[in-house]
Amino acid sequence: MSETEDSTIMIRAGGLTKAFGALVAVDGVDFEVRKGEAFGLLGPNGAGKSTIMRMIASVSRRSGGTLSILGMDPDERGPDIRGHLGVVPQQDNLDTELRVRDNLIVYGRYFGLPMKFLRPKAEELLEFAQLTEKAAVKVDSLSGGMKRRLTIARALVNEPDILLLDEPTTGLDPQARHILWDRLFRLKEAGVTLVITTHYMDEAEQLCDRLVVMDKGRIMAAGTPAALIQQYSSREVVELRFGSERNAEVALQLAGTGERIETLPDRILIYTQTGEEDLARIVDGGLRPLTSLVRRSSLEDVFLRLTGRSLVE
Amino acid sequence: MREGRPVAAGLRSVYAGRSHTVVLRAMYALKTSAWFVVVSGFFEPVFFLLSFGLGLGGLIGAIQGPKGLAVSYAAFIAPALLATSAMNGAIYDSTWNVFFKMRFARLYEAMIATSLGPLDIALGEIAYALLRGLVYALAFMSVMFAFGLVLSPWGLLAIPAALLIAFGFASCGMAITSYMKTFQQMDWINFFMLPMFMFSATFYPITVYPEAIQLLVKIFPLWHGIELIRGLTLGQFDSSILWHALYFAVMVAVGLVATTRRLTALFMK
């Protein structure tokens, strides 16, 4: 790899492993995050996403493998690396004893930033988070969406090179999610590298340039959302419902339609390149589904194929 | 901690030299906090002094000081109250306040995500507790001066002595709190503090106890704190006062190391 290419790699993990006693939370993963891209970590609960996030955030020591963030080893230069990161944790941990503006200023002081820099910076970030009018109120009186935006604004106070977002929109209503996505797009446009964990597939499709799908501590697949859909799913999906007693029986008759058929208790999924034609053929063949739907294949189909449909408790 | 790592590198991974920003944070927090809670820390020892020292003291009359010289009862218990308030202030800040920030406000988790290290946090929180302790100590000392209860110029050293006592209790208190998970466990601290306050020769000389009990009292820190300050304000002390100071210096060192290790273990898993 040439030197210029090398300098655009922000994070590089090789055989990265983290064990808590006998539990292996992250089991030898390899990935790279390049400058300016939005990189997604997808996976069900317990897949190891948050553990990877904590290792990148340099607050958790790896058990094995290599990890380099901005060319530095977090084991040796944790505080230096953290100075270049912005962290948005899964649960807001705003300082509830401080007012909204003071949350930004005091957090900036932890990085050793001078007041001369922080005063205008706080105003700029309040503007960005649409919280200018709330600057002097206590954090407790903010709504969930506002708190989330303030947490993101706080993570930007040190003008980080990499912003780590651990399930940024969990628990937000659709309006608040869309505002947040808009803010994240702006950051991406401004050249900030984003690392995002999520289990919302629409969020991953919206935000991520590239992502990895994880399960049980391992990477199951990696690529752009479009490439993953192409590789692991079909172009379209036909969803048919015949009633829960008949689905399994009908599925046998449908064998050979499309590329792959999946029978679920409530419906049959046919993965295919030609959804409308397949549906017409099925109806012509005399089968009468209660409801039918042809849709484009999504990242959710890829996700469920790779990580299974059973519940992770 | 890994073996064979240079000490300097080890310190750098837990300390960024910015504990003053943690103190600053506490100052900002004062803006939104209830002032009467802050002020109440001053009145408690004053009330004790008035009721026991002046009220009960009128009945008791003079009492023997550490070196056998007679002093008024109020002058005898005032330094003990100063030592106790230094202890209480430090313990309150380093246990209940820290417990809340650690388990509920998740403040340290947020701090550790910045370029602060666990030692910055420990030192900063303790420094703030001391700052508050200093204000209380100065206020209480003025009351003692006003009532003529500081019998020696050495008494001025009671202020740094009170800070040393607070430092020892705060650093150990924070370390102990890091092991606490529930409110019930936090109550054990109170269970331990009250008898220590009552029985550490606070209201009468330790010589009233039989030898074995005296030894037991001397194991606990408050007695050393009381003897340290009493010796200074009454002007009755000898070289043994250094041992009392040393007791707290050891508490400071042990508490700081333990707190840093615990914060590292809790927040940098």
Minimal CA–CA distance to B221: which of B187, B244, B239, B190?
B244
Both tokens of A23, joined, read 């539990």
Both tokens of B49, joined, read 């002094």
Question: Using the beta-carbon criterion (under 8 Å), do B24 and A59 form an inter-chain contact?
Answer: no
Q: Report residue A311's pLDDT band, with 50, 70 and 90 as the boundaries.
A: low
Q: Which residues contact residue B134 at a Cβ distance below 8 angstroms, ignoring those fewer than 6 apart?
A: B159, B162, B163
B57 in a domain, yes or no?
no
Domains of chain A, residue spans: 3-223, 234-297
Q: Which residues of A touch B22 (CB under 8 A)?
A: 110
Minimal CA–CA distance to B232: which of B42, B89, B64, B66?
B66
Q: Which residues of A touch B266 (CB under 8 A)?
A: none
B12 in a domain, yes or no?
no
pLDDT at A176: 82
d(CA B66, CA B231): 7
pLDDT at B19: 93
3-state secondary structure of A68: strand
Nearest Cα residue in chain A from B102:
A93
B214 in a domain, yes or no?
yes
pLDDT at A285: 85
Phi/psi at A67 (5° precision): -145, 130
Question: Using the beta-carbon criterion (under 8 Å), do A106 and B269 form an inter-chain contact?
Answer: no
Helices A100-110 and A115-128, interaxial angle, to 10°?
A: 130
Nearest to A82 among B12, B25, B113 (CB): B113
Question: Using the beta-carbon criterion (under 8 Å), do A83 and B115 form an inter-chain contact?
Answer: yes
Both tokens of A211, joined, read 């992502």
What range does the domain containing B101 cover?
Answer: 73-267
Residue B16 has pLDDT above 60, yes or no: yes
Residue type, B97: N
B175 in a domain, yes or no?
yes
* Element holding A154 (H helix, E strand): helix A144-155
- Give the C-alpha distances (Å, rounded to integers) separating B232 from A170, A255, B80, B241: 60, 95, 11, 9
What domain count does chain B have? Answer: 1
- Look over chain B and give the mean of its residue pLDDT values, rounded to a whole number: 88
β-partners of residue B72 are B62
Minimal CA–CA distance to B220: which of B205, B198, B239, B242?
B198
Beta strand A9-20 with A23-34: parallel, antiparallel or unpaired? antiparallel
Give A7-41 pLDDT, tens digit per residue: 589 999 999 999 998 999 999 999 999 999 999 99
Q: Are A290 and A310 in contact (CB under 8 A)?
A: no
- Give the C-alpha distances (Å, rounded to integers) separating A87 from A107, A162, B127, B214: 12, 9, 27, 54
Question: Using the beta-carbon criterion (under 8 Å), do B113 and A102 form an inter-chain contact?
Answer: no
Residue B35 has pLDDT above 80, yes or no: no
The answer to whether A98 contacts chain B (CB < 8 Å) is yes
Question: Using the beta-carbon criterion (under 8 Å), do B29 and A98 form an inter-chain contact?
Answer: yes
Both tokens of A271, joined, read 């993965």
B152 in a domain, yes or no?
yes
d(CA B239, CA B157): 15
pLDDT at B144: 94
Question: Using the beta-carbon criterion (under 8 Å), do B114 and A107 form an inter-chain contact?
Answer: yes
Nearest Cα residue in chain A from B17:
A112
Phi/psi at A59 (5° precision): -120, 10
Which fold, A3-223? Answer: Rossmann fold (3.40.50)
Question: Using the beta-carbon criterion (under 8 Å), do B105 and A93 form an inter-chain contact?
Answer: yes
Both tokens of B55, joined, read 């009220």
Q: Which residues of B touch A89 (CB under 8 A)?
A: 109-110, 113
Nearest Cα residue in chain A from B19:
A110
Q: pLDDT above 70 covers what percent of chain A?
A: 96
Nearest C-alpha of chain B: how many angstroms from A110? Answer: 6
Domain A234-297 belongs in CATH node 3.30.70.980: yes
Minimal CA–CA distance to A14: which of A1, A30, A3, A2?
A30
Nearest to B115 among A61, A89, A112 (CB): A112
Q: Are A186 and A129 in contact (CB under 8 A)?
A: no
Question: Using the beta-carbon criterion (under 8 Å), do A97 and B106 form an inter-chain contact?
Answer: no
Give B217-267 pLDDT, tens digit per residue: 999 999 999 999 999 999 988 898 999 999 999 999 999 999 988 988 888
pLDDT at B113: 92
pLDDT at B3: 37
Question: Using the beta-carbon criterion (under 8 Å), do A107 and B110 form an inter-chain contact?
Answer: yes
Mutate to test the interface with B, among A97, A154, A166 (most CBs of B within 10 A): A97
Q: Which residues of A touch B18 (CB under 8 A)?
A: 109-110, 112
Q: Are B245 and B228 in contact (CB under 8 A)?
A: yes
Residues of chain B whose beta carbon is less than 8 angstroms from a beta carbon of chain A are: 9, 12-13, 16, 18, 21-22, 24-25, 28-29, 31-33, 105-107, 109-117, 267-269
Q: Which residues of A touch B21 (CB under 8 A)?
A: 106, 109-110, 112
Rounded to a whole number, what is the distance in angstroms from the first to the last CA of chain B?
A: 12
Kindly state the average pLDDT of the residues B134-157: 92
* Element holding B90 (H helix, E strand): helix B73-91
Q: Are B97 and B25 in contact (CB under 8 A)?
A: no
The answer to whether A64 contacts chain B (CB < 8 Å) is no
Both tokens of B239, joined, read 């070289």
Mutate to test the interface with A, among B13, B93, B114, B269 (most CBs of A within 10 A): B114
Question: Using the beta-carbon criterion (under 8 Å), do A109 and B117 form an inter-chain contact?
Answer: no
Give A39-77 pLDDT, tens digit per residue: 999 988 889 999 999 999 999 999 999 999 999 999 888
The answer to whether A83 contacts chain B (CB < 8 Å) is yes
Nearest C-alpha of chain A: how many angstroms from B93? Answer: 15
B215 in a domain, yes or no?
yes
Q: Report residue B67's pLDDT band, with 50, 70 and 90 as the boundaries.
A: confident
pLDDT at B6: 39
Minimal CA–CA distance to A294: which of A270, A265, A262, A264?
A270
B110 in a domain, yes or no?
yes
Beta strand A268-272 with A260-263: parallel, antiparallel or unpaired? antiparallel
Residue A313 has pLDDT above 70, yes or no: no
Nearest C-alpha of chain A: how many angstroms from B19? Answer: 9
Q: Which residues of A touch B25 (CB under 8 A)?
A: 95, 98, 106, 109-110
**What sign does the dihedral B176-B178-B181-B186 (CA atoms) show?**
positive
